[in-house]
């Protein structure tokens, strides 16, 4: 259960990170340079849903795996920094592989 919870958090983190980059690097330029605001509307909605899921799973991992408050702060900061979830994922991947099956 613990490894599965951490794995789900990792996958949501990667998806959230990708959606953030798509929003910043594709959707926003489409809106402002090509006058195509629908890109931000739909990608923004998707990113928002993934962000909420990321926070939910961060709180779940924090509770289930009894993480420190500092860990929770790092997880939160990672969601606001471009590439942050990918950098944070390195730490999570090491931990997940150390858990065994």
- 1-59 per-position pLDDT tens digit: 788 999 999 999 999 999 999 999 999 999 999 999 999 999 999 999 999 999 999 99
Scanning the chain, the segments in alpha helix (DSSP H) are 2-22, 28-34, 38-64, 69-80, 84-98
Q: Is the pTM of this model over 0.85?
A: yes
Q: Which residues lie below 8 Å from residue 78, measured CB to CB, with a gap of 6+?
A: 13, 84, 85, 87, 88
Domains of the chain, residue spans: 2-98
């Amino acid at each position: 259960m613990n490894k599965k919870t951490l794995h789900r958090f990792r996958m949501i983190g990667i998806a959230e990170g990708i959606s953030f980059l798509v929003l910043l690097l594709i959707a926003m330029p489409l809106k402002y340079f090509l006058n195509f605001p629908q890109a931000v509307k739909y990608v923004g909605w998707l990113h928002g849903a993934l962000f909420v899921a990321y926070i939910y799973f961060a709180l779940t991992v924090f509770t289930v795996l009894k993480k420190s408050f500092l860990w929770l702060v790092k997880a939160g900061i990672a969601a606001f920094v471009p590439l942050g979830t990918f950098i944070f994922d390195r730490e999570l991947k090491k931990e997940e592989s150390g858990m065994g099956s």
